[in-house]
Structure 1
Amino acid sequence: MGPYLLLVTGQIVVFSFFFSKTLKRKENKDQILFIILFCCSLGLISKLIIQFSNSAVNFEYGISSTIGFSTFAFLYSKHIFSQKPIRRVELICFSLPFFSTAIIFMIELLFNKGIAHYQGLAKAIDFYVFNFRRFILAICFLGNIYLLVKYWDSVKKRARTNEIGLALSFICYNFFLCFLISSSLLFKPFDYQFILYLGLASSSIIVLLIVYFRFVNPYRDSLGLSVQTASRLSGDMRKTNEEKYQKNSAKIEGLRPLVAQIDELMIKEQPFLNPEFAHSDLAKSLSISNHDLSIILNNLMDSNFYQYINSKRVSYFIAHAHRIVQEDQNILNLAYESGFQSKSTFNKYFKMETGQSPTEFLKEKVSKIS
C-alpha cells in the first residue's frame, strides 16, 4: 500500500508543478502534454503495483488519470485547432476535476472510518465518485466534437501534421473511453479487475500516443533526412554528380530550359503549399523522370528538392508575414499554411534562409513599421 500512496501523491505533486508552470506561459501546449504524460505514467506504475501486489484499493476513490487526460486533452485540442493560447481561467476551470479527485482521495484516506457514521455524506461522496468520471468524459467528448466542427477547415489543411494527429487521436480515444464506461453500466457493480485493466490500458495507450506523435514521429525523418544530414548528402550528391555528369554536359544543357519552367510552376500553382508535395510530384508535373529532376536541381540550381521547396515556403511566409503583424495572427498557423509540417522544420529552414529566427524577423518588421 505504501508504494501506491507514494505514487498517488507523486501524481498530485507533478500535476501541481506543471500546472503552475503552464499558468505562466502563453504558448503552453508542451506543458499540457507533460501534465498528461507524467500523470498517466505515474498512474500506470501505481496500477501495476496494485496488480502485482494484489492490494485491495478502491479505484473509485483514487486519483483519476482518466479525468486528468480527458480535461487536458480537450485543452490541448482546443489550442492546436484554434492556434490560440489557452487562457488562465480555462486552465484553472479544467484542472478542478482532477483536484477534486485528489480531495476525495485525501478524505477517504484520512477519514475513512469517520465517514461511515455520516450516511448522508457517505452517499453524497459515493454518488459523486461513481458518476463524476462518466460526466467529465461525456462533457469533454461533446466539447471535442464542437471543436472539430468549428475548426474543421483549419484541421483539414493541417491534417498530416503531428500536432493535429495527436489531437485527433486524443478525441478518438476519449470516444473509446466513453464507450467502455457506458458499456460497463450494464454490468453493475463494477468488476474490480475490469477497472484495473481499463486503467492499465488507458494509461499505456495515452503515454504511447504522446511519445509517438511528440517525440518519435517528428524526428523519424532525422534518421536519414535531417537538415544536417540532408546538407551532407546534398554535398556528397553534388560531388558524385559532378564526376558522373562532367562527360555528359550536353544532357545537362538540354535540361536547362526546365529551370525557368520550374520557377514558373512555383509562381503560378504554388504546389509547395501542399505539405505532402514530393520529389516525384514535381517530376510528374514537368513530365520528366525523377533522375532528370535530380540533375536539374543538383547541377543547374545548386540545391536539392527539400532545400528548394522549403526555401519557397519560407519566401511565401515572408511575403505574408504582414498578416501576423496587422491581423494579430499566429506564427505557426501561417507556417502550416506555407506548407511546413512541423515547427522544428519551419524554424530550421527559416533560419537557414534568413539568418534569423521567425520571432527575430517579426520583431524587426514591427520596429520598421512603427
Structure 2
Amino acid sequence: MDSFGIVDLLLFLGISQGVFLAITLSLLHNKNKPANRILSFILLIACLMLVGRVFYPRFSGVLFFRIAGFVDTLIFIFGPLLYTYIRRLTFNESPSYKTPWYHFIPAFLHVVFFSWTLFYTREELQIIISEGGFNFVYFIVETVGLISNVVYLAKSYHLLSIYKTAEKANLSYSQKVQIFLSFFLFGISVFMILWIISYANYFMRFKELHFISYHLIWMSIPVFIYIVGFFSLKQPEIFRVPLSKKKTVSKERLNGEELEILKKNLEDLMVNKKIYLNNELTLKDLSKELNTSTNNISWLLNNIHQCSFYDYVNTYRVQEFISKIQKGEHFNHTILALSLDSGFNSKSTFNKAFKMIKNDTPSNYIKTLQTS
C-alpha cells in the first residue's frame, strides 16, 4: 500500500470542505434553494470522485474495480446537473426546471453494463482485467463522458448568454451572479481542457504536454470546491428573470391612443415621480405602476425608445447624477454616495452605465465640467 503524501492531504481537505459546503448550502433558506440543492449534489459528486482518487491506487483489486465501475457513472451525471444548476439559479420557472430523464440515458447504460460484470466470478474478472479486456470499454466510457460534458458546458455558456440579455430586459441593475457564473464556467472549462489533454496523452500517446496529467486535475478540484463554495455562501438572493423559450416576431403591439397614453404615463413616472431612484427597480415593478403588461413596456422600449429596460432606466440615473454634480454636491459628498442617491445599487453598475452613456468615466467627466 502506498503511503499518504502532500497531494493526498490536499485531496482530503477538498473532500471535507466539499462535504461541509454541500450540507451548508442545502440548509440555506433563500430563493436560491432549488439551485443550491443541485450545487450541493455537484459538490458531493466531486467529493466522491476525490475519494476514489485517494483510495484507488491503494486498494486496487476486483472488489474495488466493481465499485469504481459504478462510481464512474458520475461523469455522465455531472453535465446535466451543471446545466440544471445554472438554469435554476438564473431563471424564474414554476415549477423549478427538472432535467428530462433522457439526459441520463448514458448513465443508465453505464450502470447496466457494470451490473452485467457482477455475473463474473472473481477469478474470471481477474483474467479479463489482466488481459486488458476492459481497455476498450474504458476508452468508450471516457470518450462519451468527455463529449457529453463538453456539450453540456457549451449549453451552459449559451444559457448564461441568454441570461445576460434577459437581465438587461428585466432589471435596472447588474447582479453579481454574472461574475460568479462566468468564473464558475471558466473553472470547469479549464478542467475540460486539462481532461482533453490528459485523455490525448493516455489514449493517443500524445506526449508533447506530458506534464499535464490526471494528477493535475485531481489537485485542482479541491481548490475549485473551496472557491465555488465560498462564493455560493456569500451569494445573496438572486432576482431570477423569466426565460423566453421562443423568439417573438416584432409587430405593432401598441398603436394610436394606447401607445401615446403609455408613453406619457411612462415619462411622468420617470420625470416627475423619479421611480428610477429605486435601486432595485425591475420591469415587473414598472408594469405594476403603469397598470400594463411587461410585454407592452418591453415593446415600447425596444421599438420606440430603441433600448433595453436597463439602458433606459440608467440613462435617467446618469442624468440625475450629472444634475447633482452641476449643483456642486460633489464638493460635499463622494461620487459613490451621489451615485447611490441617483438610484444605482453599486459602484460597478454606476461606472459601467456612465461609461456606456457618456463614453467617459465619472471622474474625467467632472474634471471636464470644472474646466469648461
Output the TM-score relative to the length of structure 2.
0.46
Q: Could you say which structure has the greater relative contact order, defined with CA pairs below 8 angstroms and 6 or more residues apart?
A: 2
